[in-house]
Amino acid sequence: MKKKILFFEDLGKKEYKETWKYQKKLFDDLIQKKENNKFYKKEAGYFLFVEHPHVYTIGKNGKKDNHLLVTSEFLKKINASFCKTDRGGDITYHGPGQLIGYPILNMDYFFTDIHKYLRMLEEVIIHFLWKNYGIIGERKKGRTGVWFHNQIGKSRKICAIGIRISRWVTMHGFALNVNTDLRYFDHIIPCGIYNQEVTSLKKELKKNDISFQEVKQMVKKSFQEIFDVEFVSMHHK
């Protein structure tokens, strides 16, 4: 059976708002094609990788006043910006050393179940951690994302997930902490969860730096395996 095709693009380092605008364009195009039945056979959408400069983003139902712990002046001092966005979820941080994956998918080609989709995004990260590093990533009941548990039972979050779905087309996605400066999380209540420790691959593996390019390749492979897709470069579209 022929695999579903996703157009893949690595945007490198790009501002959050600029990337959001680009995502929205792909998202709107996908909805339009869907409504006009102008799909090429098995082309199920797009998958983007990106790394953002320091930015705090908050979802539609997030509480900025309660969950952003610093002033606008302080954000300027630490070279960070703030952006309200149209995904689900609360406040989170994006920045250098964090791998962002944005799947923009026509779910008619997969399944029309939001919860299943969120669990599969988690599964991509869980699969990646176990297959490449022998690390057990875990889910938390009633919460979206991927965590580690240490010996004393305190959990640490390594991957945040926040999405938007409209007319069964997805946008936004996951943020995996690879070489992330975790001090930036001190200025928020991450995802609106109090006493939530955040971690990174670098911290858990006790290394100076993890190869970002290698991680990208590994996460791509895990995504292909879990979603049963084939990637085609956007430049060959």
How much is the pTM? 0.92
How high is the mean pLDDT in each 10-residue block of the chain (237 residues)? 88 97 95 74 85 92 71 89 86 95 95 96 97 92 86 81 94 97 86 71 91 98 96 76
Single out the catalytic residue among 121, 175, 189, 191: 191
CATH numbers and ranges of domains, the chain: 4-49+99-178+193-236 (3.30.930.10)
Q: What is the pLDDT of residue 66?
A: 62
Residue 34 pLDDT: 80
- State residue 216's pLDDT score: 98
Rounded (10°) angle between helices 212-227 and 114-133 = 130
Please report the pLDDT score of residue 152 as a whole number.
Answer: 61
Q: 212: buried, middle or exposed (CB in 10 Å: 19+, 13-18, 0-12)?
A: middle
- Tell me if residue 83 is catalytic: no
Q: Provide the pLDDT for residue 160.
A: 94
Phi and psi angles of residue 121, each rounded to the nearest 5 degrees, phi first:
-65, -45
Token code pair at residue 65: 């006043």
pLDDT at residue 69, rounded to an integer: 87
Token pair belonging to 49 = 């990788």
pLDDT of residue 153: 62
